[in-house]
A and B are shown apart, each in its own frame.
Chain A
């Protein structure tokens, strides 16, 4: 016997209701949709008994089919995704994975972002975030089993309908088939019958990967047409009845408070203004139209005052990024060692001054610069509940914070998580870095729903930044000119500790990943951090520590190769000897580029060019990249980037190729032009005019080769980035005969 387990109430609330809800297992029908017939499951008997006995039912994330799947009468399949779609293609990947085992064409899926709740904590069965390039690799098995469970259920229903044993049935996409009689039933026909059946008591058998129909194929993305016709809805597009708009002016330095608004009466009297509000570190204007709110809040003349008590990372009035870079390069402090091998001191002694090299490298602060500015819409309802719409990569984590800020219990709060207009790490919980607390406060004060948009200028002021670092390297070469030792000491603060705003008691892995964790068999190494708290707020940024640390390491490795009179390709092959996977990968990118050709050489168009290479091991995936560059009028032109990527095994090669293109663009953007600079404690630039990002004319051709080693599945969204900046820097260094040690490369003299 199976007993119906109520769906997570949050799901029922978030879905449109069109019919009365019965207190029965079919009650789910009404909650799911006015017209949907829903494939239903019960919990395994043990769990149901525990529930009947009064114990809280333990939800095993990713197992309760009705929380994820609904089969509509038209045959479309609605899937609640535990992961947010922000361009990385995860909704299509989820449809491929579930569809594969369900035996349903992924093109028939309609994917939505799931509400909060325990069912969707599918990352290793205990967490829900969209980040760390974790989505597919952490939920692959779970989502396959989910699809297989649903398929088994449909087969059971068909067995009853056709009065044949389940073992006599098979499936074709969207249908259960009885081969012997030629009869078949569609999933849509079977869904209501499946609802009344017990759940399978044994785990369903998963397909042999050699029989995959969709996994591993370049399935078209599900969201492309909507995104090509303006129909895709982002958080900033959210609208509810009676909604007012809000805009804010933040303190120019974090931590400053509003003293007074000198022209408050004049601002209140401006056309279209509903009300003016003093918030924590900001002034807000609420208006029926956003344009009026924005114009008024920007007209506000505010006296900002220094904080009196403790505040989160107050920005000093003296801070400049130029001074901070100099400080990071020279600061003395405890060197916390993350990784060692061999005997570094002896290696340097053996190499002597002649075989030893020192250099200091720098990275810069970066904005996420996702094109959709952050927004938050808050609506307090008459029944005491709160609905919120805002971009986020972790709905349940935000739910907990919204509960604190609003004073409501979590069960009275619904978090809506629309499509993300880019994220790159922007939409995690960041103290002082998300607009939702302001929207909640304003909605309370004006007693109406409020949608707050941070203008680009306010966003660039409060966007927490990719940390900057200075790395002091020493390297030694042996008698053959091959690398013997590398010591790297990075003065920085990792984003994990920076966001928490406290030391964790151990080295923050996000500070050093890419300096530590390199795959080369270097006999002697010492990788350490000098912790230096960033005066800015900091954040995860696509590929996190790897976004800068692989630049440092791979560029210095080329420097060391030059020191030893060795070719960088030969050096890398040497350091990978015995590592078949990475040797194969490096050779693959060399092959893809038509053979290793470091240059400088003269291209057919008469320009002088050079190539650089680099490797990285980020997020469980292995990458190798080669870039070809020339220089004209002080500007680096990147003509081609070749990248070989080995994520172990794959779900969608077309999306991987697109993600590598995307990562190349972001990697180039930071390598060539981006820098979030401060002077006198204030941002130098607060929009794209002063903080340019990569433009179409600077996009290189990108050539991708996917290598499936069959190793454990790695990530896709971020791994394509880290090898790009060092490949470019190494090419530029070769071309100029002068090392690039600081990003961005900018204009060369």
Chain B
């Protein structure tokens, strides 16, 4: 048995230590907001926060986070920064298909928790998750909005 702290709650998990956290969240805990996209840390759909830092759960052995605070998309609005990110996502109408957006919101929340006023370079360095619908400009606009950066990004006219 492995004890995890997920969204502030202790959970007992009967899983092999090398099982990726992603599958523990989805199949053992029934928390399907965290998505499987590639399984090799390329796409970021599986992003969660480990002690506040965005982490790709598809390549994170569950035993490696047994003593950590795991935050998933299901609890993102309980975090004041996360709640602001979600509001910005709604305001900027970011999602299209939505499949990558759990991971995008987690990546943005992690960035803004660590750096309330990120630079453009910070945003570019942090927001690397893939989106096949091409919502990148809306994502950037939403992150910049929360960061208080000027809205120079144009995705309409």
B72 touches A230 (CB 8 A): yes
**In the complex the two chains form, what is the Cα distance from A689 to B42 in whole Å?**
7
A696 touches B128 (CB 8 A): yes
B130 touches A662 (CB 8 A): no
B98 touches A223 (CB 8 A): yes
Partner of A229, one of B27, B34, B77, B153: B77
B76 touches A229 (CB 8 A): yes
B97 touches A225 (CB 8 A): no
B155 touches A291 (CB 8 A): no
Question: Which chain A residues (562-598) contact chain B, with CB distance < 8 Å?
Answer: 592
The answer to whether A705 has its CB under 8 Å from any CB of chain B is yes
A456 touches B39 (CB 8 A): yes
Partner of A696, one of B15, B30, B124: B124
A87 touches B73 (CB 8 A): no
**In the complex the two chains form, what is the Cα distance from A234 to B32 in whole Å?**
9
Question: Which chain B residues (71-109) contact chain A, with CB distance < 8 Å?
Answer: 72-74, 76-77, 86, 89-90, 93-102, 105
The answer to whether B132 has its CB under 8 Å from any CB of chain A is yes
> Interface stretch among B49-57, B111-119, B133-141?
B133-141
Question: Which chain A residues (230-255) contact chain B, with CB distance < 8 Å?
Answer: 230-234, 236-237, 239, 245
Chain A proximity of B87: nearest CB distance (Å): 9
A88 touches B96 (CB 8 A): yes
In the complex, which residue of chain A has the Cβ closest to the Cβ of B153? A701
List of B residues within 8 angstroms of A236 by Cβ: 32, 35-36
B124 touches A371 (CB 8 A): no
Chain A proximity of B32: nearest CB distance (Å): 4
List of A residues within 8 angstroms of B156 by Cβ: 654, 657, 702-704
0/1 string, A425-454, CB within 8 A of B gives 1: 000000000000000000000000000010
Chain A proximity of B85: nearest CB distance (Å): 8
B131 touches A224 (CB 8 A): no
The answer to whether B59 has its CB under 8 Å from any CB of chain A is no
List of A residues within 8 angstroms of B72 by Cβ: 230
Question: Which chain B residues (20-73) contact chain A, with CB distance < 8 Å?
Answer: 20, 23, 26-28, 30-40, 42-43, 45, 72-73
Partner of B130, one of A654, A695, A702: A695
**In the complex the two chains form, what is the Cα distance from A247 to B140 in whole Å?**
36
A419 touches B154 (CB 8 A): no
The answer to whether A694 has its CB under 8 Å from any CB of chain B is yes
0/1 string, A289-317, CB within 8 A of B gives 1: 11100000000000000000000000000
B39 touches A455 (CB 8 A): yes
A419 touches B37 (CB 8 A): no
In the complex, which residue of chain B has the Cβ closest to the Cβ of A692? B42
The answer to whether B16 has its CB under 8 Å from any CB of chain A is yes
B97 touches A230 (CB 8 A): no
**In the complex the two chains form, what is the Cα distance from A694 to B136 in whole Å?**
10
Partner of A421, one of B35, B39, B77: B35
The answer to whether A212 has its CB under 8 Å from any CB of chain B is no
0/1 string, A124-145, CB within 8 A of B gives 1: 0000000000000000000000
A697 touches B132 (CB 8 A): no
Chain B proximity of A718: nearest CB distance (Å): 13
The answer to whether A664 has its CB under 8 Å from any CB of chain B is yes
B37 touches A456 (CB 8 A): yes
In the complex, which residue of chain B has the Cβ closest to the Cβ of A663? B134
**Residue of A654, A661, A694 with most partner-chain B CB within 10 A:** A661
Chain A proximity of B15: nearest CB distance (Å): 8
Tally of contacts, chain A with chain B, CB under 8 A: 192
In the complex, which residue of chain B has the Cβ closest to the Cβ of A88? B96
Give the number of chain B interface residues (Cβ < 8 Å).
Answer: 61
**In the complex the two chains form, what is the Cα distance from A702 to B139 in whole Å?**
13
The answer to whether A86 has its CB under 8 Å from any CB of chain B is yes
Partner of A228, one of B95, B97, B154: B95
Partner of A371, one of B93, B97, B127, B136: B97
A371 touches B45 (CB 8 A): yes
The answer to whether A509 has its CB under 8 Å from any CB of chain B is no
A229 touches B86 (CB 8 A): yes
**In the complex the two chains form, what is the Cα distance from A87 to B8 in whole Å?**
32
Partner of B96, one of A231, A456, A658, A705: A658
A373-B37, A419-B98, A701-B155 as given contacts; A696 in contact with B132, CB under 8 Å: no
0/1 string, A156-190, CB within 8 A of B gives 1: 00000000000000000000000000000000000
A689 touches B19 (CB 8 A): no
Chain A proximity of B44: nearest CB distance (Å): 10
B30 touches A239 (CB 8 A): yes
**In the complex the two chains form, what is the Cα distance from A622 to B40 in whole Å?**
40
A291-B19, A657-B156 as given contacts; A230 in contact with B73, CB under 8 Å: yes
In the complex, which residue of chain B has the Cβ closest to the Cβ of A698? B136
A230-B73, A291-B20, A657-B156 as given contacts; A453 in contact with B36, CB under 8 Å: yes
Chain B proximity of A244: nearest CB distance (Å): 11
A228-B86, A230-B102, A237-B32 as given contacts; A687 in contact with B40, CB under 8 Å: yes
Partner of A424, one of B20, B132, B140, B154: B132
The answer to whether A227 has its CB under 8 Å from any CB of chain B is yes
**In the complex the two chains form, what is the Cα distance from A417 to B133 in whole Å?**
20
List of B residues within 8 angstroms of A592 by Cβ: 157
List of B residues within 8 angstroms of A532 by Cβ: none
The answer to whether A522 has its CB under 8 Å from any CB of chain B is no
**Residue of A371, A696, A701 with most partner-chain B CB within 10 A:** A371
B90 touches A372 (CB 8 A): no
A702 touches B154 (CB 8 A): yes
List of A residues within 8 angstroms of B101 by Cβ: 227-228
**In the complex the two chains form, what is the Cα distance from A589 to B89 in whole Å?**
29
A237-B32, A453-B36 as given contacts; A290 in contact with B157, CB under 8 Å: no
Partner of A86, one of B15, B43, B97, B131: B97
The answer to whether A515 has its CB under 8 Å from any CB of chain B is no
Chain A proximity of B146: nearest CB distance (Å): 13
List of A residues within 8 angstroms of B139 by Cβ: 696
**In the complex the two chains form, what is the Cα distance from A463 to B96 in whole Å?**
22
In the complex, which residue of chain A has the Cβ closest to the Cβ of B83? A229
**In the complex the two chains form, what is the Cα distance from A231 to B74 in whole Å?**
8
A372-B35, A456-B37, A662-B134 known, 7 other contacts, Cβ within 8 Å: A224-B93, A229-B33, A230-B74, A371-B37, A421-B99, A661-B137, A693-B130
- 8 tightest A-B CB contacts, nearest first: A230-B33, A665-B134, A227-B98, A87-B97, A421-B99, A87-B96, A230-B73, A227-B95
Could you pull out 15 A-B pairs where Cβ atoms are within 8 angstroms? A227-B101, A228-B89, A229-B74, A229-B105, A231-B33, A291-B23, A372-B99, A421-B35, A422-B132, A453-B36, A456-B38, A661-B138, A687-B38, A688-B42, A702-B155
